[in-house]
Structure 1
Amino acid sequence: MPPIKAGLIGLPLGKSLSPRLFSILAGLCGREIEYSLWECGTAKFHEAVAKARAEGWSGFNVTLPDKQLLAGALADKRDRAAGIAGSANCARFTPEGLEARNTDAAAMAAAMLDRGMDLTGKKAAVYGSGGSAATSAYVLASAGAAEVIFYARDPLRAGAAIGRLSAAFPAAVFSVAPFGPPDGAAAVVNATPIGMYEEGHLPVEPANDQICVDWPYSPGGTFFTRRAKELGAHVIDGMELLVRQAVLSLFLWGGCRESEIGDLIREGRKLLREKTGG
């Protein structure tokens, strides 16, 4: 069976654990996986995608800054989450063209479902204005949130996603607020680089029983997730989201069976934390 060739495209990638994670997954599922890191800014993103296809990649993952570019005109086909959020983090090459998927959305939704988290009629806060922020808003609205507020340092960028989200979820209210403390949110999501590629802290003091989701990851946890756990919040950390979306990506590329997904996520999380001290 030929190896699966894939990789991560984005900038910066210096703290990425994806190659280590896919090495773990290769051992768990008994497949050879060649997973590369390609640092690439927006100006050369199309060129990188063409090169990946030419080199026989099954597909690729995308991180900052091009999740929205992948979900846009570059894709020949996209899933519902990618279309509504305007963001995709995974792609595969097919005979019909490039298929974009938002496995980030599926990962966050599954993590919430596994914990029985119910946001029906509640308010949620999303920190950020890019693709991960829009993806988070999509998942929160899908989970029943009545109101989703983007706390954004770039309000215009956050506002661009609100039209698509409002059309898809007419019962929910989406808005943008200045980057500051959330007001009565049952769920708080960090979809900024703070905690991984950016120093500082969110203007958030987590609360007991609050749902706290953190897309950045760091061995041992970010300040946000450590503080949230100390105060009794329900935490979904970036390491878990990383593993979940990676396994879903691997499935998309034909590297595992659907029946193996749950075990790969469980064992992948365990082994990655052991190897990173996380």
Structure 2
Amino acid sequence: MNSYRMGVIGDPIAHTLSPAIHTKMAEHLGLCCEYTAHHVKRGELGQFVERTKAENFAGFNVTIPHKKDIMDFLDECDPYARKCGAVNTVKITDGKLKGYNTDGDGLYASLKQNGILMDRSRVLLLGAGGAALSICQKALDVGAKVTVLCRSPKKAAAFAEKDGVTVRELSPTVQKECAKVTDIIINATPLGMEGIPDDFWDFSFLDETKAAVYDIVYKPAETSLMRESRNRGLRAFNGLGMLINQAIYAFSIFTGQEFDFGEMASYLEREIGKIVYTK
């Protein structure tokens, strides 16, 4: 039986659900797998990369703050990840590193599993961080038009350079204007996240929209944005599905295993949901 050694790096990393998700996948498929979390600070990437080669890792996932910096250590980069300008998955083959980004595919799959197609839709994306960039690129790749709202448009230069993207300032007035003419609203900010004191200051932008609402925050299970959306009769979803689906794509890259992604996502949402939402 093949044995796979994998991991995830970040700073901080103690909160990560990745070991639980990947271990559950391996158990479900009857595979021998070791997946561990590694606290890697800025400046320690090179050291960790050499360790993965010496210890025959199949690959590793990358989270904050390394998604851009890891690209300097790659031998090859998937075209989609290069367009994103960020990598969250690294596959190691014969000591060579290839980078991928599965965040956008994870969101796309989660939306589709909930009956929402991003293809050729109008997407309103709140936030301009690393996750937002991956989501934006996936939306563009499937023919969507994207409007990005952020508090400092000057910091969203990477978005403004892309055809099909409009960048505007995040404000109540602009939110209302854009929400009226969009199909999918995606919150890619930490607003409403458990442990974060900040939340949306105004939900009136939801009053005149028919859009589906997707909050990439997964804890709490129902954010304020989701609750306010549902109170207005809108479909609203949290980010657990995105988290799980991006991990499924990464696991497939690491192991080369073929399996039913939809069935695996359903299984993991049940199993990981027990860990996340059961106190």
Question: In 1, are the aligned partners of 2:9 and 2:60 still within 8 Å (CA)?
Answer: yes
1:140, 1:48 → 2: CA distance? 33
Superimposed CA distance per residue, residues 94-144 of structure 1 (whole angstroms, 9 cap, x where no aligned partner): 23721111111111122233424256363x322222221111111222343
Question: In 1, are the aligned partners of 2:53 and 2:95 still within 8 Å (CA)?
Answer: no
User: Match for 2:244: what amino acid?
Assistant: V
1:224 is aligned to 2:225: yes
- Offset at 1:59? 0.7
**TM-score in terms of structure 1 length:** 0.84
Equivalence for 2:216: 215
2:244, 2:274 → 1: CA distance? 13
**TM-score in terms of structure 2 length:** 0.84
Provide the identity percentage: 24
Q: In 2 relative to 1, CA 119–246 (structure 1 residues): closer, same or farther, beyond 3 Å?
A: closer
5+ residue gaps in structure 2?
Answer: none
Trace 1:76-87 onto structure 2 (pairs within 5 A): 76-87=75-86
SS class of match (1:110): helix
Equivalence for 1:8: 8
5+ residue gaps in structure 1?
Answer: 167-171
1:204, 1:119 → 2: CA distance? 29
**Greater displacement, 56-65 / 178-187:** 178-187
Cα RMSD (Å) of the superposition?
A: 2.5
1:23, 1:48 → 2: CA distance? 21
Runs of 4+ displaced beyond 6 Å? none
1:189 is aligned to 2:186: yes
1:180 is aligned to 2:174: no
Trace 1:107-122 onto structure 2 (pairs within 5 A): 107-114=106-113, 115-118=115-118, 120=120, 122=122
Q: 1:198 aligns with which of 172, 196, 199?
A: 196
User: Match for 1:184: what amino acid?
Assistant: C
- Offset at 1:204? 5.8
Superimposed CA distance per residue, residues 56-78 of structure 1 (whole angstroms, 9 cap, x where no aligned partner): 211111111222233x3332222
SS class of match (2:272): helix
Pairs aligned (count): 267
1:209, 1:94 → 2: CA distance? 46
- Offset at 1:34? 1.4
SS class of match (1:8): strand
